[in-house]
Chains A and B, each alone.
Chain A
Amino acid sequence: MQQSSEHSAYWKWIPASFALAGIIVFIFATFGPPASSSGFVSTLKGFFQVVAPGYAASKTHYQIIPGPGSWLFAFVVGMAIGGFVAGRTFPVPTRDVPRIWEQRFGSSRRRRYAATFAGGFLILFGARLAGGCTLGLFISGSTQLAISGLYFGVLIFAFAMITARLVYGPVRKETIE
């Protein structure tokens, strides 16, 4: 298919991992452990400080995370900008409903968006309970040799793999192609 030429637009994993590690080490040197789920809390804190200042001030979770104006908030905004720039300079068009999802559930946007809303809810609820996400706990933690990061990492990979099997069913030939 035409996929092979488009696929080569993606970076190879070894140089890409050196690039990411360089960025992570830069972040440790200039800030501290990188994190992205905290950026959600930071954004919400900014929101509640405007619409319900008393509520924002009264909740522990908003007291322990800095609001907009922090590195954590700037980082997630930067991530969106980085994604935007990368997408504009990439030959493979984006899809609102991934092909593999469409093959399984059809092209309904509403169904896909409901699923990603639910998934988004779960990953942030879980990340805030653990104190970090794939980046803030698994990557940052494991880089610092933290048992919490390794323990979290093993379980998130295992349960994501099991869930993907249940969501997408047995891997069929057409999924692989």
Chain B
Amino acid sequence: MTKILLGLFSGIAFGFVIQRIGATNAGKMARAHLMIEPDIPRFMLAAVALSAAGLLGLTAAGVGKTMVLPTSIVATGLAAVIFGIGWGLAGYCPGTTWAAAGEGRMDAVFALLGGFAGAAVFAQLHEILIPLLYDPTNMGQLTLADWTKSQGAAVATLAVVFSVCIYFIGKLWHRQPGNG
């Protein structure tokens, strides 16, 4: 029961914040992809860099749980291409569809239904596709810390790289706000 309440509370807070930055607005998301509005990608990258620093603190304190997904060169790469095409087409990603549907956007309800169809088709094909696409090029649970030898150095590297990305997104996107 505690798990359910924690999940609900976390989801409500997460859904609220992503609505407030405009990520549940598919028009704003399209404008982010078209390099018109920089705020959503800057928000995402900054949130990740800050979270990585926070997680470093949690790990040091021995709190919480982590689970690194493996990198499969073919499956992760192909999946990202398919995902990117869907994200660019609809302007929704799996998390934002729930919040946007809750917000009352009918196009998000259809994205949600399409999502159920896509997940169901993948679940049906799991036994064929995972051995075919995922397993042969599965490189294991690689992390940046494998190269930097320390988690702190890896977080610092991530923060620097993401800061540079945020800087260039601010320069290269047109900085035109709007309501999509």
Contacts and interface: CB of A to CB of B under 8 A. Distances in A.
A159 B77 CA distance: 11
Given A21-B51, A145-B158, A146-B141, A159 B103 contact: no
B48 to A, nearest CB: 5
Contacts of B41: 157
A124 B114 contact: yes
Interface centre among A25, A61, A94, A126 (most CB of B within 10 A): A126
Contacts, number: 508
Contact of B82 (A14, A122, A131): A122
B19 to A, nearest CB: 4
Dominant secondary structure at the B interface: helix
Contacts of A96: 105-107
Interface string A132-168: 1111111101111111111110111111111111111
Interface residues of B, number: 128
A44 B151 CA distance: 37
B85 to A, nearest CB: 5
Interface of B: 3-22, 24-27, 30-31, 33-36, 38-44, 46-48, 50-52, 54-55, 57-58, 63-72, 75-108, 110-124, 126-127, 129-130, 133-134, 139, 141-145, 151, 154-155, 158, 174, 176-180
